[in-house]
Structures are given as C-alpha cells and as structure tokens.
Amino acid sequence: MDLPQLAIAALGGTVSMQARNAGEGVVPTVSGETLLASVPELTALARVDVETLGLLPSASLDFEFLLSVLSWANFQIKQGAVGVVITQGTDTLEETAAFFDYLWAHDEPLVVTGAMRSAAQAGADGPANLLDACRVALAENSRLRGVQVVMNGQIHAACRVRKTDSLALQAFSSPAFGPCGMLVENITRYLRPPTPRTVLPLPQQTTQKVAMLEASLSADTLLLENILELGYDGLVLGGFGAGHVSQSWADVIEKIARKIPVIVATRTGSGSTAHSSYGFIGGEMDLIRKGVSMAGFLCPRKARILLWLLIGCQRQDELASFLLED
C-alpha cells in the first residue's frame, strides 16, 4: 500500500521543552525528529518528512520567520505532501495560525498544534496532539478548509480559535462559534462544511508597523497622541464592550484615522463589535463616522495581523471587505 506523504515542521514551544538540570525551568530542546519518535503509530499512516525549523518559545517568533516557515510549507505541497503539520508553542499559536491562514493558498490542509504540558511532564499532551494533528492533515475532508488548530481532540478554525486559559489542558476554544470538528475514535469529524476563503498574496514589504493598544478605565491619551510621530502605519484598538472608547480617546483617534488605517475590536474575548447601536461620542457609530473600521468577530490580535498583511501587499483599501467577510 502506497502511503500518503506528510510534512511536519517543529518550531519549538512547550511541546519541545525539557529542563536541562533539576530545579530549572523547561526550555526548548526536543527536536521534531525526537518528537516524531514519540508517535510510532504515525508510520502506519503516512510517509513523514520532518524538519526542525527552530527551537524557540513562541513569544519570540516574528513575521519574518513565519514567512520562511510558510515558504517551507509551500514547497512541501509542491513536493507532493497531502498536508502539513506545524508544532509550536501555545502562547502565540492563535496568532501564527491566523497569519498562515490569510496566506495559505492550497486546497491541502495546514494544521498547527502544540502542547500545554512539557515533554518532561507526566501526561504530556504533545504526542497525542501531534498524532491528532497528523490525522486531521491526512483526512480527505480536511481539504479546502485552510489552516486549522488541533488541540485536546478538537479542531478549530484559525480565524476563530483563541487561547482562553493560561495553563489548563483545555486551553483553546473558539468563543461564539465552537470547534469546527473533533477527533472521534481517531476519525476526523467536522461539524460544518468548509466555507469560501479569500487568500492574500505574500507581502511585498515587511517593514510596516502596526500598533495595538487596549482601552482601559481612565486611560490617558499620551501613547495615542504619538502614534503618527512614532511612524506607525496602522493602529488596532481593543475597545470596551462592543467596540467603544472614551471621549478623550475618540478625539485623538479621529485625527489618526485621517492618516492611517484604524481598527477597533472588542477586548472582551468573545462576541462581535457593534455597528449601529451606540451613538455616544466614542461609541461605534461615532467611531465609524470618524473613519474607524470595526473588527466584527475578529479579535484585536488577529485584526493587527490582517492589517499588517494588507499594508504589506498594498491592499489596505480592501480592509472593509475582509472585515465584512469575518
């Protein structure tokens, strides 16, 4: 029987971490090859090519590095892989998954996974998550779904998933939407069909800067007042409630929005921004009149990634259509 070809890249993170000496904290040390050896069942499912592209905590990943990982993944598909799996740390997993999803132009799936327990801990979840991710990447019904996150037996769409607990095993969820699928007796089951996707071209530039700030009670405007002078090309705000800011912020934001794109998302962790409910100064209707875009269900972190990519491929004028799709 001719087994399908599967590509795996290891970037580091908790899934790769062990302590070098007793009493010290864990650090990335376990290569992709060693991690693969922990799931011998996979050899019966696919011909696997694995590469260790980095051993980094995910907080230290950056857009330039992710573009190089994407280039590697694109090459694997051209070489005949039916799917690609990437392992990394969970701290920024929801952001890297969204980054890849905006740029993933293949029908074949790209699956991102990680672990909440280090490789040295009893009950380490890395091997199980990796095996589940590989099963999802190999499944025929995973095609046309873009990038997905597989953790703790669940499948989440990259644009919806969030890390909602700092340490718990069940750290990932998709607020308001729920998982799009799950592993049932090792079989990939989806709860809804794939939806049409709009994919961006690779950014032509990578030097653009997009700031992200969160509204908070009685916050001053000093940082806002200096956004343009500091050279930022875009601004994302985590607003109160359904996308609101204080009156003092609204006054400054109006001036910024005349020069660069401004997106307001909700800081709540779930739900959408409003569009036509609140008319007070700093409410969403006022902000829209001032030239601000509302993020809808997109969280502030993913809105920042979207804006960075749009500016990078000189398509920031299409921001409204991307947020409308969300």
pLDDT value at position 267?
98
Q: Residue 20 pLDDT more than 80?
A: no
Residue 49 in tokens: 């090519």
Q: Residues in the chain, how many? A: 326
Active site residue 188: no
Mean pLDDT value of segment 311-317: 97
pLDDT value at position 16?
84
What is the rounded CA–CA span in Å between residue 224 and residue 238? Answer: 13
pLDDT value at position 325?
67
Domains, the chain, ranges and CATH?
5-190 (3.40.50.1170), 210-325 (3.40.50.40)
Predicted TM-score (pTM) of this structure: 0.96
Q: What is the pLDDT of residues 163-184, one digit of tens each?
A: 999 999 999 999 999 999 999 9
Residue 146 CA to chain centroid, in angstroms? 12
Q: Residue 319 pLDDT more than 80?
A: yes
Q: Which member of 14, 87, 96, 188 is catalytic? A: 14
pLDDT value at position 25?
85
Q: Residue 21 pLDDT more than 90?
A: no
Q: Which residues are annotated as a binding site for substrate?
A: 58, 90-91
Beta strands in 117-241, from DSSP E residues, in sequence order: 147-151, 154-157, 162-163, 172-173, 181-184, 187-190, 210-214, 234-239
Q: Which residues are annotated as a binding site?
A: 58, 90-91
